Amino acid sequence: MENQGVEKRKFPRVYFTKEDKILASITFPGTQKKPIEAGVMNLSQEGICLTYRKNDDIEVSEKDVLILTQLKGLTPELFQEELKIQIKWIINEAFFDHDQIGCKIVNASESYRELVRTAPSRRNG
């Protein structure tokens, strides 16, 4: 119980608000599902938390591997690179308008890591 509330992550997270309008384009490999755009709640060098509307009709499960193809809203305006992300957890509560998924970045590139390290100074506006 002594470790309760202690951050165990190796890398700090960068948090965003709805007003920051940071968006991620996600594809579903090996399926016919249409790509989606999800809001980015936070990201780190090893992970990303995404949110999307329930009415987007998205069915995902823990351990699914998705492809993050773009990050929009940070300067430069568009980060475009295919990164595999694996779903680690899902929050899907009936009383929320949005679902959340927490994902591990499977193949984080050095350019992605640099983007995260400098993200606080890259917010638009």
Tens-place pLDDT, residues 6-58? 656 678 888 998 888 999 999 999 888 888 899 999 999 899 999 998 866 67
Q: Which neighbouring-strand residues pair with 66?
A: 85
Alpha-carbon Rg for the chain, nearest whole angstrom, is 14
| All domains of the chain in start order, with CATH | 14-120 (2.40.10.220)
Q: In which element (H, E) is residue 93 found? A: none
% the chain with pLDDT above 70: 83
**Length in residues, the chain:** 125
What is the predicted pLDDT for the residue at 122? Answer: 62
DSSP H helices in 47-117: 110-117
| 8 A C-beta contact, residue 48 and residue 115 | no
Provide the token pair at 60.
Answer: 């995902």
